[in-house]
Amino acid sequence: DLQIRTDNGGRAGRASALYGLAEVYRARDEYDEAEKAYSEALQIRTDIGDRAGRADALWGLAAVHRARGEYDEAARLYSEDLQIRTDIGDRAGRTSALWGLAEVHRARDEYDEAVKFHTEVLQIRTDIGDRAGRADALWGLAEVHRARTEYDEAARLYSEALRIYTNVGNRDGRADTLWGLAEVHRARDEYDEAFKKSSEALQVYTDIAHKDGISKASKGLAEIQRLRANGVERMFPFDGGLHVWSM
């Protein structure tokens, strides 16, 4: 497809094909190959004066650097993307850049900045009627509040995101949100509810063959079982002759 696009569509066609190829590499976690393809697409879009296409390539490169934990470079690229999106009046693209910046700040434990950017994303997504995007923003805010141990607010935001994800049929989002809720309940020592939500998350992750999610939820369930068992042991100390049951 890359050669055909190059032959028939000139440089713009080649840039489009490179971008699509980079997206495939990124989805496969093949970040070095993705970076090469995005970078070539970026150079072409810059050369031909395609600002929107340049912003797309910048966003892709930023996502690669964020995935590799290279947060300074990711923030620089997201910021450049954001400036272009703002200049050309692309609100949807602007929210994608803001989302990326919010996640970079969250990864660096810069929670005030993360809240600021996620809140702006939430406002724009609400204004343009993007329910799935609104759910993503709610989830992002919930993650920040959970990291700050603000569990009541995190639970409220996760619950709202979960309703939307369920209604729009986004199973990935639903699984991640169930997991977040499970972690909130576990942090509050609400092990029965944590177990329930973790089990639901595991089922969805299994249904969509999400390997990392399956591993995460399975380990979480084991940890909850351990914590519940420890709670029983504290209530009924083991004396060597009694069976310690699990709750």
Q: Using CA atoms, how far apart are residues 158 and 188, in angstroms rounded to an integer?
A: 15
71 is written with which tokens? 């947060």
172 is written with which tokens? 């990935």
CB atoms within 10 A of CB 101: 26
pTM: 0.82
**Residue 230: what pLDDT?**
82
Per-residue pLDDT of the chain (247 residues; tens, 9 = 90+): 555 445 445 899 999 999 999 999 999 999 999 999 999 999 999 999 999 999 999 999 999 999 999 999 999 999 999 999 999 999 999 999 999 999 999 999 999 999 999 999 999 999 999 999 999 999 999 999 999 999 999 999 999 999 999 999 999 999 999 999 999 999 999 999 999 999 999 999 999 999 999 999 999 999 999 988 886 544 333 333 332 323 3
Q: Which residue is associated with the tokens 């620089």?
A: 76
**Residue 9: what pLDDT?**
58
Q: Which of 120, 133, 193, 140 minimizes the C-alpha distance to 164?
A: 133
Q: Using CA atoms, how far apart are residues 2 and 13, in angstroms rounded to an integer?
A: 8
* Residues 105/117, Cβ–Cβ less than 8 Å: yes
**139 residue type, one letter:** W
Q: Using CA atoms, how far apart are residues 102 and 47, in angstroms rounded to an integer?
A: 30
Q: What counts of helices (H) and strands (E) characterise the chain?
A: 11, 0
Q: Is 197 helix (H, G, I), strand (E, B) or coil?
A: helix
- The rounded Cα 195 to chain-centroid distance in angstroms is 23
Q: Using CA atoms, how far apart are residues 205 and 62, in angstroms rounded to an integer?
A: 27
Q: Using CA atoms, how far apart are residues 171 and 174, in angstroms rounded to an integer?
A: 5
**178 residue type, one letter:** L
- The rounded Cα 110 to chain-centroid distance in angstroms is 17
- DSSP per residue over 64-98, as a string? HHHHTT-HHHHHHHHHHHHHHHHHHT-HHHHHHHH
